[in-house]
Amino acid sequence: MRPITREQWQDAVDAAELLAQITTAQVLLFIELGRLFGLVNEEGEIDLEACNDVIQEAGNRGVMPSSNPIQRFISGKS
């Protein structure tokens, strides 16, 4: 549905702004978690070798990546 009235446009733009902020906050959270676990350096660059090492070591411990890790973080479920 496309907004038609001014009120609908206001609702749409407010929802879009909020969703954009939430998305930005989630990305920043992922980057911070990456830094915490040594997967992202201080310049925000991803260390693919460190990522692969964590995936391999976790697998050795019986821990596999979630089927939908983004949804896991969004929902707040562990």
Q: What is the pLDDT of residue 24?
A: 86
Q: What is the pLDDT of residue 52?
A: 94
Taking the C-alpha atoms of residue 30 and residue 45, their distance in angstroms, rounded to an integer, is 12
Q: What is the pLDDT of residue 49?
A: 95
The two structure tokens encoding residue 69: 């890790």
Entry field: residues in the chain: 78
Domain with 38, as residue range(s), is 6-75
- Within a domain: residue 1? no
Q: Which residue has the tokens 């976790």?
A: 58
Q: What is the pLDDT along the chain (78 residues), one digit of tens a residue?
A: 899 999 999 999 988 888 888 888 888 888 899 999 999 988 889 999 999 999 999 999 999 988 877 777 667 665
- Within a domain: residue 28? yes
Taking the C-alpha atoms of residue 25 and residue 19, their distance in angstroms, rounded to an integer, is 10
- Within a domain: residue 68? yes
Taking the C-alpha atoms of residue 39 and residue 75, their distance in angstroms, rounded to an integer, is 23
In the chain, how many domains are there? 1
